[in-house]
Amino acid sequence: MTTKRQYLFIDFEFTMPEENVRVKDFYPEIIEVGIVAVMNEQIIRQFSSFVTPLKFPILSERCKSFLHITQEQVDKGLSFYDFIRKLEEFNNDSVETTIVTWGNMDMKVLRQNCLAAGVPFPFQAEELDLSMEYKRFFGNQNQTGLWKAVQEYGKEGTGRHHRALDDALTTYNIFKLVEKDKQYLEKPKPTTIGDRVDFSKLLNDFA
């Protein structure tokens, strides 16, 4: 990590329809956000909140059961517009920013939700899909789930899976492990022939 870069580790949880039930014009909406802001390898800010969906405000039973999120929690969450304003607070004009997510769905859904709500995308930042980085680094054929990836490192995820802030913290922890492994694999500076051969000894041998 460079000193002039801010990393935002972001995780969203989304709505989902009932299984095998088609809902006209349904699209996933963000209902929980977790953000971990890191600079100089230090966590400088964390943010977590529920978000009230705009288009389909009533959660499906499948969604509530899978995510362990209640209707009351999202009803009391931030409005979508307040949520976008909160995301904008993480823009930092004095440094470059990289958004790190596990998979590409988080930013896809955020863009789709902004488009549907008629608001601009809130970030000016590079985006890094850590699951693809992990896949390339380890040569895996398939993408690995977030918590399986951390367990492959012999670690455990932070808190509870499918809670946005816990998943954002777990993403940060995997990022640190992958970066550390990358440093181990960096090739040392190649030696020159002068480093390998003692020319004075060689010349004495021929003298």
Q: Tell me the residue ranges of DSSP E strands in the chain.
A: 5-14, 30-39, 42-50, 96-101, 126-129
In order of 64, 102, 147, 157, the CA distances from 154 in angstroms are: 30, 18, 11, 10
13 catalytic, yes or no? yes
Query: 168 vs 3, which has greater pLDDT?
Result: 168
- Residue span of the structural domain in which 146 resides: 5-206
162 catalytic, yes or no? yes
Q: Look at the chain and report how many structural domains it folds into.
A: 1
Give Cα 120 to chain centroid, integer Å.
21
- The 10s digit of each residue's pLDDT in 68-109 is 999 999 999 999 999 999 999 999 989 999 999 999 999 999
pLDDT of residue 190: 55
Look over the chain and give the mean of its residue pLDDT values, rounded to a whole number.
87
13 beta partners: 32
pLDDT of residue 20: 83
User: How much of the chain exceeds pLDDT 70, in percent?
Assistant: 83
- The 10s digit of each residue's pLDDT in 13-68 is 999 999 888 888 999 999 999 999 999 999 999 999 999 999 999 999 999 999 99
pLDDT of residue 72: 98
pTM across the whole model: 0.84
List 88, 152, 161, 162, catalytic entry = 162
List 13, 32, 88, 126, catalytic entry = 13
Q: What distance in Å separates the CA atoms of residue 59 and residue 157, rounded to the nearest whole number? A: 26
CATH code for the domain of 26: 3.30.420.10
